[in-house]
Amino acid sequence: MVTGTAGGILAILLFAIVLILLRSMIRVCPSNHILVVTGGSQTVVDGRKYGFRLQKGGWTFVIPFIQSVQAVDLTIIPINVRVEGVNSANGINVGADATACVCIDDQQEALLYSAVQQLLGKSRGQIQEQIQQTMIGNFRAALNKTTPLQAIGMVESADGIEDVELAEIADEAFKTQIVQQNAESADGERAIFRQVLLEDCQQDLSTFGIEVVSVSLQRIWDTSSYIANLANKTLSRKRKEVEIEEARLRSRAERAESDAKRRQEVAESQANERILEVQQELEVFRRQCTAAINRARLESDSAIA
């Protein structure tokens, strides 16, 4: 009886040990992470040898005491970039703030292994700092190639027309076309700057397996108040355009009101004339009736006599 009890306890212990071993050997990979298994065999990717293997999703076996496991985060990494004292394409000294969203490129195996090799063991803060330093250089280079106005999509001339005010243009369709063309030009310049910045960042960050999801310019300033003065000039011009448009609409409304009043007066005059004509016709008819009655009465009196 004792022997049977001891055997049962031993079996339970063995079963528990097996479960513990299996638990330590099986590692499940979350969908937004990648497991890096080091130790044991090497992995060859595009002719390069790496002392680890990767597990994307699912689960994998890990040999205790021989292999170790680390998890690498694949989620979006936000990056804030600030540059100052940059000499732009037109010689204006500017500073700017930008934001970007990056992540480890897990679509291409070679880039993924390269990223893991360079980033493994670093904290998220260290990774952000490394990416930030790279993007600062890209951002400075992009600002060197463009003007502040092109970067923010502002048109310097008064809607693209020099020495001519929009108010002096009689053709409304031509005005609208000019405004649309300059809006498209501003959007196009801003898009070109963003594309150049995105391509430069992508080219440099891809060397250690980082993909740039998005990048955008948040704010730009200069030490000579060039942008502020131009913004004030643009604001003043826009305010003047609004005042001109308000005056034009007010004049149109007054003309419409005057035309309506004139039409009303004409209609009233025509109605009065018609009323007078009808009254005159009625008076003529009344007189004719009276004359006919009088004649009939005279003829009747004559016949009786």
Residue 210, exposed/middle/buried by CB under 10 A (0-12, 13-18, 19+)?
A: buried
Using DSSP's 3-state secondary structure scheme, residue 1 falls into: coil
111 and 202, same domain (yes or no): yes
Give the residue, 13 or 22, on which the prediction is more confident. Answer: 13
Mean predicted confidence (pLDDT) in 183-188: 50
Cα(175)–Cα(291) distance, integer angstroms? 73
Cα(304)–Cα(293) distance, integer angstroms? 17
**Confidence band of 157 (pLDDT split at 50, 70, 90):** very low
Among candidate residues 177, 194, 224, the one where a domain is terminated: 224
Q: What's the pLDDT tens digit per position in 97-112?
A: 999 999 988 888 888 8
Q: Which domain holds residue 34?
A: 2-73
88 and 206, same domain (yes or no): yes
Using DSSP's 3-state secondary structure scheme, residue 102 falls into: strand
57 and 130, same domain (yes or no): no
64 and 106, same domain (yes or no): no
85 and 213, same domain (yes or no): yes
Q: Is the pLDDT at 278 greater than 80, yes or no? A: yes
Per-residue pLDDT, 187: 54
Among candidate residues 198, 224, 250, the one where a domain is terminated: 224
Cα(92)–Cα(290) distance, integer angstroms? 101
82 and 213, same domain (yes or no): yes
Per the listing, tokens 């070109």 go with: 192
182 and 210, same domain (yes or no): yes
161 and 51, same domain (yes or no): no
Cα(120)–Cα(118) distance, integer angstroms? 6
131 falls within a domain: yes
Q: What's the pLDDT tens digit per position in 222-247?
A: 877 777 677 677 777 778 888 888 88
299 falls within a domain: no
Per-residue exposure over 240-260, b if at least 16 CB sit within 10 Å of its own CB, e if not: ebeeeeeeeeeeeeeeeeeee
Per-residue pLDDT, 231: 66
Cα(130)–Cα(124) distance, integer angstroms? 10
Per-residue pLDDT, 153: 67
Give the residue, 2 or 139, on which the prediction is more confident. Answer: 139
Mean predicted confidence (pLDDT) in 34-59: 82
132 and 219, same domain (yes or no): yes
Q: Give Dmax (Cα) for the chain.
A: 169
Per-residue pLDDT, 24: 67
Residue 212 near residue 100, CB atoms below 8 Å = yes
Among candidate residues 181, 197, 224, the one where a domain is terminated: 224
What total of structural domains would you count in the chain?
2
Of the segments 79-83, 183-187, 275-279, which one has the largest average pLDDT value? 79-83
pTM: 0.59
Per-residue pLDDT, 163: 39
Give the residue, 115 or 8, on which the prediction is more confident. Answer: 115
Mean predicted confidence (pLDDT) in 142-162: 65
56 and 168, same domain (yes or no): no
Using DSSP's 3-state secondary structure scheme, residue 217 falls into: strand
Q: What is the CATH number of the domain that holds 103?
A: 3.30.479.30
